[in-house]
Amino acid sequence: MNIKGGVSFYHSNESDIDKIIFYLNMAKEFGLDEVFTSFQFGKIEEVLKVVSKCRDLGLKIVADINHKMFNEFCKDLKDIRIFKDFGLSGIRLDYGFSLEEIAEMTWNEKDLQIGINALLSKEEQSIFKSMPTNHSQLFASFNYYPRIESGISLEFLMDQSHFFNQYNIPIRSFIAGEAFKRGPIFAGLPTVEYHRKSFAPSSSSFYKLVGGIDVVYIGDPFISKQELSLFTKSLAEQDIWIKLVPAKDLSKEEKRLLIDIPHVLRRDESEWVYRSSAGRILAEEKNFMIVNRGESQARRRGSITIDNQLYDRYMGELQIIKTDLPPDERVNVVARIVDEDMYILDYLTGGTKIRFYM
């Protein structure tokens, strides 16, 4: 499943417009052309300066807007051209808009994309089904949650997404950034609570695993160049990215099997481990040895192991440990999944493509 990536910016009295534009330029250089902002922060005239620059750069920008501010810009739901004139590609409607109003706006003649809150009750979903809505100009968007422990569950996200997926309505979601957290809470801006401390490549690629999401924004502003690079690479590949803490003194052969090659989990799934045979094949083809590390370690849940020469023809097999297992001198423990990505273990299945990074 292909997912587009995007970045976010927010204006405040302390905002540096040049810094924001430099950041958006950098995102554009990495191939990210989706941008999210909010009209509910800072000075609107300053936000519009950045929006205008985004249009010049060819970026597609969506702005969050509430009902009160919407009414300040236009009184007629059939004539919302002003938002297109600002340079916006879409508006995400915050609370306060009725489903009837949203449906009417989807028929605008300016091809302005209208964003509906993805959190509809069962009653609202029934009403939505009966509304004369132009689905080609509609997208659904989840919220981001600044407060710790307020993000939604993955199960709830998938359940809500399923409704819009039935109508081929694209869905947008948020993940947290690492380098810079937006205030005043400074705890990240994810949709899913699991993603509050997870890393962008892991969070974004995870959406490929569960499906249903079309655009993923990094909710926090000003992520680092390195994070942008990894974020875009993870989106370009079909692999699920998982961050690791490596064991000390890895051999070059262990590093190669761990990092340099993608792994596909075997479909004949074990109850205790996920298995990849890619390393066995490579070790045989290149005729290199995985040497016993001399110190057997317990294989804890989330450990990454590689079978050594004592396991004969299994040498090179990589495993992800699902449940705690005892030490085995034939098995080298070469890394462990970072705590922030441990949740991914519960969603892996046979056939999943994995890319490890550090």
* Each residue's pLDDT tens digit, 208-264: 988 899 999 999 998 899 999 999 999 998 899 999 999 998 999 999 999 988 899
Distance of CA 14 to the CA centre of its chain: 28
Let me know: does 157 contact 173? Beta carbons within 8 Å.
Answer: yes
Q: Which residue ranges does the chain devote to CATH 3.20.20.70?
A: 4-238
The whole-angstrom separation of Cα 16 and Cα 79 is 33
For residue 220, how many other CB atoms are within 10 A of its CB?
A: 26
The neighbour count for residue 340, using CB atoms within 10 Å, is 16
pLDDT of residue 14: 63
CATH 2.40.100.10 domain range(s) in the chain: 244-357
Mean pLDDT of 3-13: 90
φ, ψ for residue 254, nearest 5 deg:
-65, -45
Separation of alpha carbons 344 and 238, rounded Å? 15
Give the fold, CATH level 3, of 4-238: TIM Barrel (3.20.20)
| Span 38-62, pLDDT tens digits | 998 888 888 999 999 999 999 999 9
**pLDDT average, residue stretch 281-306:** 90
Stretch among 19-23, 38-42, 194-198 having the lowest mean pLDDT:
38-42
**How are beta strands 215-218 and 171-175 bridged, if at all?**
parallel
pLDDT in tens, 229-244: 999 999 998 899 999 9
Q: Spell out the alpha helix ranges (H) of the chain.
A: 17-29, 44-57, 67-73, 81-86, 99-105, 122-130, 154-165, 200-210, 225-236, 252-255, 278-286
| Spatial separation of the C-alpha atoms in residues 42 and 58, rounded to whole Å | 24
pLDDT of residue 75: 82
Cis status, amide bond into 184, omega within 30 of 0: yes
- HSE value, Cβ hemisphere, 13 Å, CA-based, for 231: 33
Distance CA 46, CA 19 (A): 13
Decide which of 2.60.40.10, 1.10.260.40, 2.40.100.10, 1.10.1200.10 is the CATH code for 244-357: 2.40.100.10
Q: Is the pLDDT of residue 13 over 80?
A: no
Which of 342, 301, 344 has its CA nearest to residue 325?
Answer: 301
What is the percentage of the chain residues whose pLDDT exceeds 70? Answer: 99
Give dist(CA 342, CA 124) in Å, integer: 35
Looking at the chain, the number of H-run helices and the number of E-run strands are 11, 15
The confidence score (pLDDT) of residue 97 equals 92
User: Above 80 in pLDDT, residue 68?
Assistant: yes
Q: Residue 295: is it exposed, middle or buried by C-beta count within 10 angstroms (0-12/13-18/19+)? A: exposed
Share above pLDDT 90 across residues of the chain, in percent, rounded to a whole number = 81
Residue 337 near residue 304 (C-beta atoms within 8 A): yes
d(CA 14, CA 45): 15
Whether residue 31 contacts residue 4, with contact meaning beta carbons closer than 8 Å, is answered with no
Model pTM greater than 0.75? yes
What local confidence, expressed as pLDDT, does residue 84 receive? Answer: 94
